[in-house]
Amino acid sequence: MRSLSVAARGPRERGLNTVRGAVYKVVSLGKRQIRMASDYLGSMMVRNWDKIPGGYVTTIDPAALPEVLRIYNDFCGCGSNGLFGRYSEIFNQIFYVAKFDREVVGYSTYYVKPSLTLGGFRKCAVLYSMAVDKEHRRQGIGRHLLTVSLREMQLNGIYEVALYVSKKNVPALSLYTKLGFAVVGELQDICKEGESCYKMRLGLPTALT
């Protein structure tokens, strides 16, 4: 009887795995559609974005994207990120690059997601990724990228900026804390698979120095 039970379990488990796989695909598709809809609404909110002079910090142009991807891949050891190309188009006003003599030395890119409250839609920005070229670190470039971008967020009615950072990334944690970000949670597998990271938030307006 036991052998029959085990034998019968095989097809049943395969069937359950097939169902789980189908459910996972549907859920993933649903998440992608929700994300795309959120990104579309967010992109509408940055169309009339007011800019401020940022010195050597400017916004993305198509020619700079390969260098941004190179810095990103050098920083995290990841493969090519398809969202960079998408965000460089729909969120180009809040995709910042730092350039020295036309050379891209760092970047910070955000997306905006609407938040529905009793008072209507509010704009929350999320720092999707930021990195500085390894040959130009410890020169204040990351701080300048953040300062310029956060001041523009204030100017354009962003009420909150959120980010996710690895618990192991001590320099970034120190920088974010100095600029007023506070840890509000701890998550797994957000920054990188198998790695813990903090969720941090900065309410705007606030004093940025």
Per-residue pLDDT for the chain (209 aa), expressed as one digit of tens each?
444 454 555 555 554 455 344 433 433 446 677 777 778 888 888 889 999 988 899 999 999 999 999 999 988 777 667 788 889 999 999 999 999 988 999 999 999 987 766 666 788 999 999 999 999 999 999 999 999 999 999 999 999 999 999 998 999 999 999 999 999 999 887 777 778 999 999 999 755 55
pLDDT confidence of residue 75: 84
pLDDT confidence of residue 12: 53
pLDDT confidence of residue 15: 45
CA distance 60 to 44: 18
CATH class belonging to 48-203: alpha beta
pLDDT confidence of residue 28: 46
Q: For the segment 51-71, what is each residue's pLDDT rounded down to a tens digit? A: 998 889 999 999 999 999 999
pLDDT confidence of residue 208: 57
pLDDT confidence of residue 174: 94
CA distance 124 to 138: 29
pLDDT confidence of residue 45: 86
pLDDT confidence of residue 78: 74
pLDDT confidence of residue 150: 95
What phi-psi label fits residue 194: left (phi over 0), alpha (psi between -120 and 50 degrees) or beta? Answer: left
- Sign of the alpha-carbon dihedral angle for 86, 87, 93, 96: negative
Cβ atoms within 10 Å, residue 208: 15
pLDDT confidence of residue 27: 39
Is the overall model pTM greater than 0.85, yes or no? no
**Complete DSSP assignment for the chain:** -HHHHHHHHHHHHHHHHHHHHHHHHHHHHHHHHHHHHHHHHHHHHTTTPPP---TTEEE--GGGHHHHHHHHHHHH-----HHHHHHHHHTGGGEEEEEETTEEEEEEEEEEEEEEETTEEEEEEEEEEEEE-GGG-SSSHHHHHHHHHHHHHHHTTEEEEEEEEETT-HHHHHHHHHTT-EEEEEEESSSSTT-EEEEEEEESS----
Q: For the segment 125-163, what is each residue's pLDDT rounded down to a tens digit? A: 999 999 999 999 999 999 999 999 999 999 999 999 999
